Structure 1
Amino acid sequence: MSKTSPQPALSRTQKKPRVRLQRDAKLAVLLFFLGWVMSYADRQLITLALPYIGEDLSLTPTQQGMLISAFFVTYAIVQIPGGILVDKVGAKRTAVTGVLAWSVFTVATGTAGSFAVMLAIRALFGIGEGVYPAASVKAVAERTSSEQRMTATGWMYSSNAVGTIVAAVAGAALIGAIGWQGAFFILGAVGVLVAVAIGFFLPNARADSTAAIEVEEQSDSMITSKDLFRSPALWGHVAMFFGYGVVAWGMSAWVPSYLVDARGIPLGVVATAAVIPVLAGGVASVLGGRLVDRLGGRHRLIIIPGMLASIVTLAMMTQELPVPVFVTLIGLLSFFSGMCYMPVFSSPVRGLPTAVVGTAYATISTGSQVGGILTPTIMGVVVENVSWEAAFGVLIAGCVICLVAAMLVPRGPEEFFATFTRRQTVTPDGA
């Protein structure tokens, strides 16, 4: 017997007035904001310490690069299993375990005395961090209404910019004062304190957090992880975030080298200028989250103009421009693309029951991680064999992928949710 599809909740959602985040939601955002600050500070610290680590452990440039890659490989691999774990054992327990684990491995980084040991530690570090994204998003989703969800998540993710700056300022100061080993000890210890804070002070989930769209009382249908993995709509969002990741990771990996190698800009100037796109991206993630909530989760209204503006900006960056103009364009690109960050997740996070939000978020997040693995290498090959201008074309291709995927997936949370209920109507019990 076919299951009855729930009535669309769009009209109810549109009529609800905009409300401010409640105290419990604000506290949850603050706690996971701090967790993300430590996540980015810990993972960025090694890039600052790498020259000293290489000297002390007698590492080749290839081995130093492998230490960075070890994190990204395990971080990407664990995304989907981590999301499933979050949905099975709970966001709070998984988050606390993840923060404790990566903090312990941050401390352990300072004790490594050989390349093999360091490589293993950084791979384990990636596993600890890999379960945190889904846990943090699910925890915030359980403590906010659907109308606030992307706003709250946007504030949480503005921490990425703060963490990067903390690593650049505090990390560099610590390395200079107490050495790279001591810097890892300090950041790891602070991470343990953050894990304890989440464990003790995270408020309970909302009583009405079981569904993002209030439809479960109208239907006995349940969405499972298997339903998610068979959903073309979800994989469309994965493609969207892959395109976004191509732009984000390509910029962070190669723009500094372009400025130093192709334009002859001193590294110190490049490091200072790097603050501009970091801050622009942080502001954009907050604005993108607030705006997509105001628009009822309709991501196309932000992603389409955002990616079109990014394409225009990248096309301008291929020209021989004065360095101040080029740096300004980097900031604009970070802002335009950063506005698309939260909207990529809006339909799944707002439209799905929170019981599967962890798995959905982690699956989509994997798209960006794949982009992070592939893009730096592809751009390096293009730079070596063609030109820098052609390498920026790789970033434009990422914008196009995100843009096309945004136009193909359902336009909002209700339509996204309806794709699952229609499937259940046609194939009872998800068979």
Structure 2
Amino acid sequence: MPSTNHLSRDRVGIISFLGILTFVLYLDRVCIGQAMPFIQEDLGLNKTQQSYILMAFTVAYGLFMVPVGLLGDRFGPKKVMVGIVIWWSIFTALTGYVSGLTTLIIIRFLFGAGEAGALPNSAKLIARWFPPERRGFPQGFMNTAALLGGACAPLVTAQTIQFVDSRLAPMLAGTGIHLVGWRTTFYLFGTLGILWSIGFWMWYREPPAEAMQSRPTPALKFALESARESADEYVPPQPLSWGRVLTSPTVWLMGLINTCASAVSYFYMSWYPSYLKDARGVINTESGNMTTLVLIGGALGSLWGGYLSDWMVRRTGERRWSRSIIGATGMFISAIGLLVAPLFDSAWETSIVLCIGFTGGMLMIAAWWGVVADISGPHVATLFGLMNGLGVFGGAGSQFFAGAMVDHNTQVLGLAGRAAWDPVFPVYAAVACLGGIAWLMVNANRQVHSRTLP
């Protein structure tokens, strides 16, 4: 039997690998938002066409979450995670090779299909290695790393594009090598996932049975009933009852919450750099700094939410309101930030307010993951894929809505600058409020797989 210290080291390794994975996941995902003005100029795109490119990723991301989650539950997370990371890394690099709108849409769709499996199978790993009352920190840490990757993406992308275009490309032009900043950035980012896959494949092993053990509470006994795998071989769970899943109010509420949260998050990741450039007249490198500031707020909120989620569950001994209060409060803070931010004339002041709002909005992430793990039993990857995949409606809708509304305001109403962009903010605030209301109706004790947890 492995020692407690050995098990602790393995858990640290799991958290570290998942943190690096989600950092790369969001770095590869978010960088296109900062590169989009250059892609627009290079390929001659309008805002609505840009929204199609952004939506291609999001639609594939939602469509493939359940299938890749099923693969993780069936074959175990190790093989599936290594395969999907290599897949999306290849298509990250191929983004730099595109020559037109159609090829770019296809590449981003296939990129999204690969990224779809990362979070469901990460949730599977956390559920296999950590008992319920200790999952908040790894979930919060992983999501913090993801948002830090997203936060670094605008800054790193802007600086890389500037370096390639202003220094590296002129230096290599005489050798016959022609570099374009935004294209080279995607080539470089595509290598990171390959390196992670090699390291994870060499290191990972299946958890021992005592990885799930803690104090013998009824909830933990229930969790142990689902942890029948040995340290050497992955054993798939019993078939899932889809009738019970699809009639569960909690499943649909979690999907609605993720839809609302995704709408807000994808606005920041996909459109905020363009808003700063077009509406506020901010240059590319400075818009990268401002977007990074907003996304860092989300990263901090996710980390604090992880600690807070664990603390409240341990303090109160119940999940129903511990999870819901955190989630609802965070979404309402996000809504207030979106309403207030456009009132400021300074782009930095607007970004600071949105940073505070996004900090609140991301407080709910660990609680959301906690509820999904609480209700899913041994089918975490599949059900996480379903509930997270429902967020595609918010993510894709957000990407289309902002671009289409700005085009409408510009081309039909004759508006420009802030007059064309600022009206989108109240809409996103209303969406965040809807997510907060949905949180108040969530009951984490309603177990989908077999029975209600005490």
Fold in common (TM above 0.5): yes
Q: What is the 5 A alignment of 1:3-402?
A: 22-50=8-36, 58-61=43-46, 64-113=50-99, 115-175=101-161, 176=164, 177=168, 179=180, 180-208=182-210, 213-215=220-222, 224-226=240-242, 227-296=244-313, 297=319, 298-353=322-377, 355-380=378-403, 384=409, 390-402=423-435
Q: Measure, in 1, the Cα distance between the counterparts of 2:156 and 2:281.
A: 27
Which amino acid letter does the alignment assign opposite residue 299 of structure 1? R
Provide Cα deviations, 1:149-202, integer angstroms capped at 9, x if missing partner: 121011111122332344334444544135444433332223211111111112
Q: Measure, in 2, the Cα distance between the counterparts of 1:66 and 1:34.
A: 29
Which amino acid letter does the alignment assign opposite residue 386 of structure 2? T
Secondary structure in 1 aligned to 2:130? coil
**TM-align CA RMSD:** 3.3
Q: Measure, in 2, the Cα distance between the counterparts of 1:339 and 1:29.
A: 19
Deviates more, 1:199-208 or 1:246-255: 246-255
Deviation at residue 348 of structure 1 after TM alignment: 2.1
Q: Measure, in 2, the Cα distance between the counterparts of 1:191 and 1:369.
A: 23
Show the counterpart of 1:8: none
Secondary structure in 2 aligned to 1:60? coil
Deviates more, 1:122-131 or 1:383-392: 383-392
Kept after mapping to 1: 8 A contact 2:30/2:270: no
Deviation at residue 129 of structure 1 after TM alignment: 1.0
Kept after mapping to 2: 8 A contact 1:289/1:343: yes
Kept after mapping to 1: 8 A contact 2:52/2:105: yes
Distance 1:420-1:45 versus aligned 2 partners, 3 A rule: same
Q: Measure, in 2, the Cα distance between the counterparts of 1:51 and 1:153.
A: 33
Deviation at residue 422 of structure 1 after TM alignment: 6.1
Which runs of no fewer than 5 residues in structure 1 stay unpaired?
1-18, 424-431
Q: Measure, in 2, the Cα distance between the counterparts of 1:22 and 1:52.
A: 46
Provide Cα deviations, 1:76-117, integer angstroms capped at 9, x if missing partner: 211122222221121111111100111122233344455544
Deviates more, 1:131-140 or 1:35-44: 35-44
Deviates more, 1:240-249 or 1:335-344: 240-249
Q: Measure, in 1, the Cα distance between the counterparts of 2:70 and 2:259.
A: 20
Deviation at residue 334 of structure 1 after TM alignment: 1.0
Deviation at residue 293 of structure 1 after TM alignment: 1.3
Deviates more, 1:380-389 or 1:357-366: 380-389
Distance 1:348-1:222 versus aligned 2 partners, 3 A rule: farther
Kept after mapping to 1: 8 A contact 2:144/2:299: yes
Q: Measure, in 2, the Cα distance between the counterparts of 1:118 and 1:257.
A: 19
Provide Cα deviations, 1:214-246, integer angstroms capped at 9, x if missing partner: 226789x97825132331111111111112122
Q: Measure, in 2, the Cα distance between the counterparts of 1:122 and 1:376.
A: 14
Percent sequence identity over aligned pairs: 24
The one of 421, 424, 430 equivalent to 2:451 is 421
Deviation at residue 134 of structure 1 after TM alignment: 0.6
Equivalent pairs counted in the alignment come to 399
Deviation at residue 302 of structure 1 after TM alignment: 0.9
Q: Measure, in 2, the Cα distance between the counterparts of 1:48 and 1:267.
A: 8
Q: Measure, in 2, the Cα distance between the counterparts of 1:31 and 1:93.
A: 15
Distance 1:260-1:50 versus aligned 2 partners, 3 A rule: closer
Deviation at residue 73 of structure 1 after TM alignment: 1.9
Distance 1:304-1:374 versus aligned 2 partners, 3 A rule: same
Deviation at residue 337 of structure 1 after TM alignment: 0.5
TM-score normalised by L of structure 1? 0.81
TM-score normalised by L of structure 2? 0.77
Q: Measure, in 2, the Cα distance between the counterparts of 1:64 and 1:257.
A: 11
Kept after mapping to 1: 8 A contact 2:336/2:357: no
Which amino acid letter does the alignment assign opposite residue 447 of structure 2? F
Q: Measure, in 2, the Cα distance between the counterparts of 1:368 and 1:339.
A: 17
Show the counterpart of 1:16: none
Q: Measure, in 1, the Cα distance between the counterparts of 2:343 and 2:117.
A: 41
Which amino acid letter does the alignment assign opposite residue 325 of structure 2? L
Distance 1:377-1:421 versus aligned 2 partners, 3 A rule: same
Deviation at residue 280 of structure 1 after TM alignment: 1.1
Which amino acid letter does the alignment assign opposite residue 280 of structure 1? G
Provide Cα deviations, 1:334-356, integer angstroms capped at 9, x if missing partner: 11101112212212213432x21
Deviation at residue 310 of structure 1 after TM alignment: 2.7
Distance 1:311-1:126 versus aligned 2 partners, 3 A rule: closer
Which amino acid letter does the alignment assign opposite residue 199 of structure 1? W
Secondary structure in 2 aligned to 1:305? helix
